[in-house]
Chains A and B, each alone.
Chain A
């Protein structure tokens, strides 16, 4: 019983973090028509940010709060220097962000070296849950992820800015003709999307090994999630992430992480092939 509970809790954790990562990627793609191959690297930057901030003495949770802001700032710079100049050609956004990923990875190798680091988890202990001890920190990560996702939804559906963003996602040209400042929105969107990835990285930092390649394992699952879930809606990527993340966790728990990746990627590819618009799509999106 306690083992199943741990599996479910860990799966939920993994799903929520993947949702966070996929959401950022989907928003960037939906609003800016940019395929951000560097998204995993922004996650990785979040890990290093929290590591550096705790190293210079900041309390962990303050570091956790500041890291996404730092990553968002880096995203803003990247948008201004690189992304902005590739908007009109979708394939070029793939190439440019691929190059950006390479640059970010290597920059970290040069600054921190290729080896891995660890960030000690904050001392918050564990509580008894469903008959067994469960680390409180993991619950905090779940809470942060869930809270951020809900907050993002609240922003999109409850504010004027969110309304403008949804309009741009639906029909960029028409939104621009109404006077919506698409350039500023693009800037903020990329910063926000990379910030989300940075938050995921910062939150996960105490649980994973931090090295320049830490982001590599996230780009493909995140993309598969949004393709499986479907583009054009804000809920699509969440559904996809739930499916991909859930299947991954469960397979890993019951067989091995190696098989998990195989099974999940193959299944995702099949689903995308059979449902090219995703499972929750409402609009056909030409890529």
Chain B
């Protein structure tokens, strides 16, 4: 019987909690959580890249934004040359493919060749890229410029924009939760696959890993692509709930936000990162009413504290605590060796 990781235990507990939640909260709260789940997917994409593959992206919203814009363009019927296409499904596909391809190109640029970008330099260049692409989006009339694209239709089940519109908040809630669950299950599988293990080896010690035959560049590019595609999916799912895509989804601010969610939640497990995103957005929603402009100050201060005092993140520490607890029980329950 396979032993369950502590992170999965936390994940299961959270899943049960979230399945039951709509029964006890008003529907507008459930609607908020629909968006939080999408942010959680975004957080998972960064946690995989950063925590598992060791690649710090300070401008990750680029791929989220590309997904959001792609979905909007398709479902608004704005696809160049194909004005009749309005399908949600094609929108999703376009979002994932476009963001994934962009990530693949960018990844090749970053990690190809004999001296790949790494560490802090990589972080700074991704940040610069995010600033540039945000600027491009603001100045693109096709993408609606500063205001972006509005009145993006919701999730429509039919094949091409016809059929059932999903606008009931409870249905959206469970739909997004399902997507989040699927993403987490997929990524857990990826992390334990041969690809995932090779990636972790490269992250740990690139020189050693490449002498053992792992193609570090290819692994990193693949990881970057997967992460970008996931972020794009999140962007697409975001836009069907929010109804508009703007440059703020593609630039510095959101990139900074997701970094904070993942760091506060716990960058080492995708589950802790996902919970981090949900927790931070939830708290922000709850507390900004009361403390208003002090929220970012509080968040920033708490973020600094977490970097210094609990680098594993809030949920990461919880998982570590569960680990120690289980270890303690296992040790105590072992039969004592005979006294010699």
Is residue B120 within 8 Å, beta carbon to beta carbon, of the partner chain?
Answer: yes
Task: Determine the residue in chain A with the shortest Cβ distance to B56.
Answer: A91
Q: Which interface class (under 10, 10 to 19, 20 to 34, 35 or more) fits A?
A: 35 or more
Chain A residues with CB under 8 A of B311: 89, 92
Is residue A287 within 8 Å, beta carbon to beta carbon, of the partner chain?
Answer: yes
| A82 in contact with B304 given A224-B128, A276-B121 (CB within 8 Å) | yes
Q: Which of A50-109 contact B (CB under 8 A)?
A: 82, 85-86, 89-92, 94-96, 98-103, 105-107, 109
Is residue B208 within 8 Å, beta carbon to beta carbon, of the partner chain?
Answer: no
Which of A92, A95, A105, A107 has the largest count of B CB atoms less than 10 A from its CB?
A95
Is residue B294 within 8 Å, beta carbon to beta carbon, of the partner chain?
Answer: yes
Query: What 0/1 readout, one digit per residue, does chain A (107-138) give for beta carbons within 8 Å of chain B?
Result: 10110001000000000000000000000000
Provide the bound-state CA to CA distance between A101 and B304, in Å. 10
Query: What 0/1 readout, one digit per residue, does chain B (109-133) give for beta carbons within 8 Å of chain A?
Result: 1100001011111011101110110
- A287 and B121 within 8 A (CB): yes
Is residue B299 within 8 Å, beta carbon to beta carbon, of the partner chain?
Answer: yes
Is residue B252 within 8 Å, beta carbon to beta carbon, of the partner chain?
Answer: yes
Query: What 0/1 readout, one digit per residue, does chain B (69-105) give for beta carbons within 8 Å of chain A?
Result: 0000000000000000000000000000000000000
- A95 and B263 within 8 A (CB): yes
Chain B residues with CB under 8 A of A276: 115, 117, 121
Provide the bound-state CA to CA distance between A262 and B129, in Å. 9
- A110 and B297 within 8 A (CB): yes
How far is the CB of A278 from the nearest CB of chain B, in Å? 10
Q: Which of A256-287 contact B (CB under 8 A)?
A: 258, 261-262, 265-266, 268-269, 272-273, 276, 286-287
Provide the bound-state CA to CA distance between A166 and B297, in Å. 36
- B297 and A265 within 8 A (CB): no
Total chain B interface residues with beta-carbon distance under 8 A: 38
- A106 and B296 within 8 A (CB): yes
How far is the CB of A151 from the nearest CB of chain B, in Å? 28
Query: What 0/1 readout, one digit per residue, does chain A (238-267) give for beta carbons within 8 Å of chain B?
Result: 000000000000000000001001100110
Report whether over half of chain A's contact residues are helix, strand or loop; otherwise say mixed. Answer: helix
- B128 and A269 within 8 A (CB): yes
Is residue A42 within 8 Å, beta carbon to beta carbon, of the partner chain?
Answer: no
Is residue A35 within 8 Å, beta carbon to beta carbon, of the partner chain?
Answer: yes
Chain A residues with CB under 8 A of B124: 35, 220, 223-224, 227
Is residue A167 within 8 Å, beta carbon to beta carbon, of the partner chain?
Answer: no
Query: What 0/1 readout, one digit per residue, does chain B (17-61) give for beta carbons within 8 Å of chain A?
Result: 000000000000000000000000000000000000000101000
Is residue A216 within 8 Å, beta carbon to beta carbon, of the partner chain?
Answer: yes
- B307 and A258 within 8 A (CB): no
Provide the bound-state CA to CA distance between A86 and B305, in Å. 11
- A106 and B293 within 8 A (CB): yes
- A99 and B121 within 8 A (CB): no
- A220 and B131 within 8 A (CB): yes
Chain A residues with CB under 8 A of B256: 98, 102
Which among A89, A216, A287 is the interface contact of B118 at CB below 8 angstroms? A287
Provide the bound-state CA to CA distance between A100 and B300, in Å. 7
Which among B110, B128, B139 is the interface contact of A258 at CB below 8 angstroms? B139
Is residue B136 within 8 Å, beta carbon to beta carbon, of the partner chain?
Answer: yes
How far is the CB of B51 from the nearest CB of chain A, in Å? 11
Is residue B259 within 8 Å, beta carbon to beta carbon, of the partner chain?
Answer: yes
Q: Which of A223-244 contact B (CB under 8 A)?
A: 223-224, 227
Give 16 new A-B contacts, CB below 8 A, not counting A89-B311, A265-B129, A276-B115.
Answer: A90-B120, A91-B56, A91-B123, A94-B123, A95-B259, A98-B256, A99-B260, A99-B303, A99-B304, A102-B299, A114-B293, A261-B135, A272-B117, A272-B121, A273-B109, A287-B120
A sample of 19 cross-chain residue pairs with beta-carbon separation below 8 angstroms, ordered by A number, consists of A90-B119, A91-B56, A95-B259, A98-B256, A102-B256, A102-B297, A102-B303, A103-B304, A106-B296, A107-B297, A110-B294, A220-B131, A223-B124, A227-B121, A262-B136, A265-B131, A273-B110, A273-B125, A287-B118
